[in-house]
Chain A
Amino acid sequence: MSATVNTEAAVEQEKNSPFGEVWQRFKKNRIAMASLILLVTLTLLAILAPLVTSYDPYVGQLPQALKGPSASHIMGTDELGRDIYTRIIYGARISLWVGLLAVAVALAAGTILGSLAAYYGRWADNLIMRFMDIMLAIPSLLLVIAFMMVLGKGIENAIIAIGIVSVPEYVRIVRSSVLAVKENDYVQAARAIGNRDLAIIARHILPNITTPVIVKATLGISTAILDTAALGFLGLGVQPPYAEWGTMLGVGRNCLAPHIVFFPGLAITVTVLAFNLLGDGLRDALDPRLKC
């Protein structure tokens, strides 16, 4: 009896805090929950990679090369006899890491530039936004490739290049959100009580634009993962022997064995789809007014 009362009280409390309310709504969305569970599982697998795989991702056994799925290699082996399942799990480390970091780079730059443009307006706004327009006018993959040519190949450079290229989208979303929020009286009130501009932006404006930005960032991770895979496929991103899904696709496409490209491709598709569905779910949970 007392146990039920306690849980009811807990639910009540959860509903009262802003985060609890969002979580209550999010839990009801089955597709988003499934995506969340899938991504959490994938992250755990990536972190615990040495424990959940039994082969070395970089050293293969040539006699075993190009074998289809079997009991000992559930996704088969690649052209060097390496276990594909093992490589996909290790590849998840790279893909998730690159996705998160690239979004972090873009989000940081986008938040700073977007809020400055919106808060100060006038020439700051014009300067920043016209520059972003120029970047948006160039196809993003082309721009990434150009950056990679300048910076050189490698994971770090891929993160930077993919991050920089997606900055304009974040600048735009931050700018438009700040423009809407800064008209509120509490921003005027923050000035009236003696806040400096930076404190007003950091304490009163940015906390109120988190909803669209979180959603955008979640969706952005999937774009970053796709871009990483594309770079890897083109041979510009993560270099062999590192296991990266796009690189695996790129190298594997020369072999006449469908499972070599099927499983990395499936990994990319499922992960990207999961991030997209999670982003949609978050948007619905964070802002119930947008839900149709």
Chain B
Amino acid sequence: MTKKTAPLMKTIGLKKYFNVENGWKKLKSTVKAVDNVNFSIFPGETLGLVGESGCGKSTVGRLLLRLLEPTEGEIYYQGRNIVELPAGEMRKLRKHMQIVFHDPYTSLNPRMTVGNIIAEPLKIFGYGGASDIRERVMDLLSLVGLGSNHYDRYPHEFSGGQRQRAGIARALALHPKLVICDEPVSALDVSIQPQIINLLKELQGKLSLTYVFIARGLNVVKHMSDRVGVMYLGKMMELAGGEKLYASPLHPYTRALLSAIPVPNPKYKKSRIILEGEIPSPINPPVGCRFHTRCPERMERCSIDEPEFREVETGHWVACHLLEE
């Protein structure tokens, strides 16, 4: 990872709040799904985003593509703020950024053949005549490990892994620069997961893709990511190069997550950090540091001040009072 290069994408103060209306009394409450998140994505890298379910990592993924409109904040793609782009301009930009979805069973239109699903982005962006498109789709099918005999089949005739491959082919059809992988393997059988992960890695090398790889656990991300961001309740807690984060995690939450990765060695006695309690509701997140209710190293000021997300070493960002003098 070279820090000299300009980021491909950069967020500043990204926020997404969902309003929840409660019955006829209209008691409005706000879910702060993503709350003031700042990070950059550099060309060619894989940025892993990790966190428990409900921490806002998928929301971040969708905000980056403007599939959801941010409540506040800026998202720069190659120096342009895409939040301000009118709908038509944004649509043109979509060929640069694509997404692979979490659930392969709902991400393909059941009424379209797989060939047509993959051909659709090509048709929208005027790739060429019918035969050009067909040829390109055939190339894409073989690129993701499917055959030309799959062209005229419907998604329901496919297995989960095959569907995910078709979803990847659709995402790659327009030669995107950035691909958001939103938990691309968590809905698949364990036996299929490494195949898809290896496929994604291989494609990254071949097509020089930039990935944002969203996952629930640190172990999946470890094999994929150059840098890893750890999220908790809509906030980025720690962001560092992969090696660094695994070798010397600074945030107590990251340490707890790392200690939960199973080690395939029965003699190895590891000290697991067991977090107390449940993840609090994002409707009324804890004041101060969001993690203080479950933090094993909490201090008095943690429940009062919110720690700033600071760069404590080059490329290592943490939001924790333990690291402030």
Contacts and interface: CB of A to CB of B under 8 A. Distances in A.
Nearest to A18: B154
B95 interface: yes
A124 B154 CA distance: 34
Interface of B: 62, 65, 67, 91-92, 94-95, 97-99, 101-103, 106-112, 120-121, 124-125, 154, 157, 167, 170-171, 173-174
A185 B107 contact: yes
A139 interface: no
A192 interface: yes
B99 A194 contact: no
Tell me the interface secondary structure of chain A in the complex: helix
Contact of B98 (A18, A192, A199, A203): A192
A192 B99 contact: yes
A208 B110 contact: yes
Given A16-B157, A194-B94, 11 more contacts: A18-B154, A185-B107, A188-B62, A189-B99, A190-B109, A192-B65, A192-B99, A193-B98, A194-B91, A195-B120, A208-B111
Interface of A: 16, 18, 184-186, 188-196, 199, 203-204, 207-208
Contact of B101 (A185, A207, A208): A185
B91 A186 contact: no
Given A185-B102, A188-B99, A193 B121 contact: yes
Contact of B170 (A18, A184, A189): A189
B94 A192 contact: yes
In this complex, the member of A191, A199, A207 whose beta carbon has the largest number of chain B beta carbons within 10 angstroms is: A191
B67 A186 contact: no
Contacts of B157: 16
A189 B98 CA distance: 9
Contacts of A190: 109, 120
Contacts of A186: 106-109
A137 B94 CA distance: 45
A204 B99 contact: no
Contacts of B107: 184-186, 189
B140 to A, nearest CB: 13
Contacts of A199: 124
A160 B94 CA distance: 43
